[in-house]
Amino acid sequence: MKLVRFLDGKKKKTGILEDNNITEINCSMVEAFNNTEQFSKQGRYNLNEVKLLPPLLPSKIVCVGLNYIDHARELNMELPDEPVIFIKPSTGVIGHLDPIIYPSSSKQVDYEVEIAVVISKKAHQVKKKDADDYIGGYTILNDVTARDLQNKDVQWTRAKSFNTFCPIGPCIQTQLDPSNQKISLKLNGEIKQDSNTKNMIFSAQELVKFISDIMTLNPGDIISTGTPPGVGPMNIGDIVEAEVEEIGVLKNIIK
Ligand code: MG
């Protein structure tokens, strides 16, 4: 099932997306992870007639630095023995078709397509075998990065944290095998990243265990699982489309 948040006039609503139709449900996104049957179904909307919102507003976004075997090979780096993590601020979140604003303090802003785990309920010290019980679904995240500032600073916070540097969406897919999904990215229609999540070093479930051992994950928090090979720069006016097979396409324009 694909879940979306969208604007109807000025009202923010949650709905189930099927083909190009949205059926509104009277609950929040996090409530919808549990059982949509208990929520009454209301209006029907055409996808092309509403504005999609970021599917949710996480309290934090925990990202994984290097998590694809093919990306590590590309960089000539040894495979990490445990995940390297960092946090993007929630203030960076934008949705499908929202503009990514190119900051004047950077001269190289890169795309990074990633599959993102959405947490469904409070998670602390979760065992790997129980991790799926805490996952509400999966979305696409573009881990936009000011690469020149990342290389200059020892800490990555500045490079990863500009407003608009965290596009997520277009929907949350609640039923998906995260260990075997085609993942790709197009810049101005040209394929730049093209891999499969089976190349991930640490699985979604291992990441829920590792990160929830450190910090409590709140309902709606996001774990972004790292990017495959082929990262590169974007320029003002470019159109970037991040795609995961069973989720859809997250499209943004650079302004
Ligand atoms: Mg990344």
| pLDDT string in tens for the chain (255-residue length) | 999 999 999 999 999 999 999 999 999 999 998 777 778 888 899 999 999 999 999 999 999 999 999 988 888 888 899 999 999 999 999 999 999 999 999 999 999 999 999 999 999 999 999 999 999 999 999 999 999 999 999 899 999 999 999 999 999 999 999 999 999 999 999 999 999 999 999 999 999 999 999 999 999 999 999 999 999 999 999 999 999 999 999 999 999
Q: Which residue, 15, 35, 53, sits at the end of a domain?
A: 53
Tell whether 96 and 169 lie within a shared domain: yes
Q: Which residue, 31, 53, 75, sits at the end of a domain?
A: 53
- Alpha carbon distance 222, 116 (integer Å): 6
CA–centroid distance, 141 to ligand 1, in Å, is 9
CA–centroid distance, 200 to ligand 1, in Å, is 13
Tell whether 13 and 129 lie within a shared domain: no
CA–centroid distance, 67 to ligand 1, in Å, is 9
Tell whether 38 and 129 lie within a shared domain: no
- The residue range of the domain holding 186 is 61-253
CA–centroid distance, 65 to ligand 1, in Å, is 6
Say if CB 132 and CB 126 are below 8 A apart.
no
Tell whether 182 and 74 lie within a shared domain: yes
